Amino acid sequence: MQPALEAQHIIKDFANHRALDDVSLSVPEQQIFGLLGPNGAGKTTLIRIINQITAPDSGEILFNGRPLRSDDVSQIGYLPEERGLYKKMKVGEQAMYLAQLKGLSANEAKQRLKSWFEKFDIMNWWNRKVEELSKGMQQKVQFIVTVVHEPKLMIFDEPFSGFDPINVNLLKDHILDLKNNGATIIFSTHNMASVEELCDNIALIHRSKTILQGSVDGLKKQFKPDNFEIVYSNGKSDLRQLLGEQFMVLEESKKEHETIARIHLEPGSDANQLIAKLLPHVNIHAFREILPSMNDIFISQVNKNESSNG
């Protein structure tokens, strides 16, 4: 499948600072792509280049397999981290204005906007001024005007900022619906739990460089520590003596009639061998591999990159 968007060897300098240093990444079509990195890593600069707010010093952005053109802006929806609506305008009037800027006719804009306002249960705010809305309601409006023209590529920068848990779940559901209806989504956030829940693929930028890229499932398997959690009972032998040098018992905790143990597989051993060692001596109630969270991977790779760069 052809990528929806590719960044090829992007370099961008500001005064004495290199914001992006040979950054390349590929965003698969009709997937949610997590653009991750610490503050100041270069994520916002890359997003601004994709939106043609600024231009790279060298390198190229490809959109649907060809160089990005000025008129491609109409096929991109961008929700910036710093929101901005005209406080004195009425909500509906402003939404209509922004929707028509995206190329919708007045009738089509009104029809689509009212459908979205009903989904977010804010139809009764249509004729109220923006300044009368709470921060969360203003962000709902801005999300709506970002997606109302049904762009092929949507870029959400910290979309859940300022939302309570109920509205975060509401927004997540709509983002997944947009993906299922054919949109490609770039999702920039510091919330790794949301990345695990929503993203198919990620790229991690640190110190202006891409240091990690791949599918969420693939990266979890790549960085797995070969640790397993076992819940068992009736163990009459000392687990450390029983397992020997092939396996390292990291921790054990007893809960009523069960024991929970975390065990590390040493090189050359596998899970089947571990089970075979245990079965004659204990009753196994649960057995699972412990995969790293995206937060674990994020921290370890950033720290590793910090160390390698002094």
Tens of pLDDT, residues 210-222: 999 999 999 999 9
- Which pTM was predicted? 0.88
- Do 32 and 153 lie in one domain? The reply is yes
* Strands laid side by side in the 153-157 sheet: 76-79, 153-157, 184-188, 32-36, 201-206, 209-215
Helix axes 91-101, 106-119, angle to 10 degrees: 120
Q: In percent, how much of the chain has pLDDT > 90? A: 74
45 & 135 share domain: yes
> E-assigned strands of 81-147?
none
Look at the chain and report how many structural domains it folds into.
2
Q: Indicate if the pLDDT at residue 85 is higher than 90.
A: no
Question: Considering the chain, what is the average pLDDT of its residues?
Answer: 92
Q: What are the Cα distances from residue 222, in Å, to 34, 210, 297, 308?
A: 18, 17, 10, 20
Residues 122 and 120: their CA atoms lie apart, in Å, by 6
**Cα 32 to Cα 175, 186, 192, 197, 207, distances in angstroms:** 9, 6, 14, 10, 23
Among 198, 216, 234, the domain-final residue is 216
pLDDT of residue 292 exceeding 70, the answer is yes
Residue 308 predicted with pLDDT over 90: no
Is residue 140 located within the same domain as residue 262?
no
* Residue 282 is assigned to a structural domain of this protein: yes
At residue 186, the pLDDT reads 97
**Residue 100, domain extent:** 5-216
Question: What phi-psi label fits residue 63: left (phi over 0), alpha (psi between -120 and 50 degrees) or beta?
Answer: beta
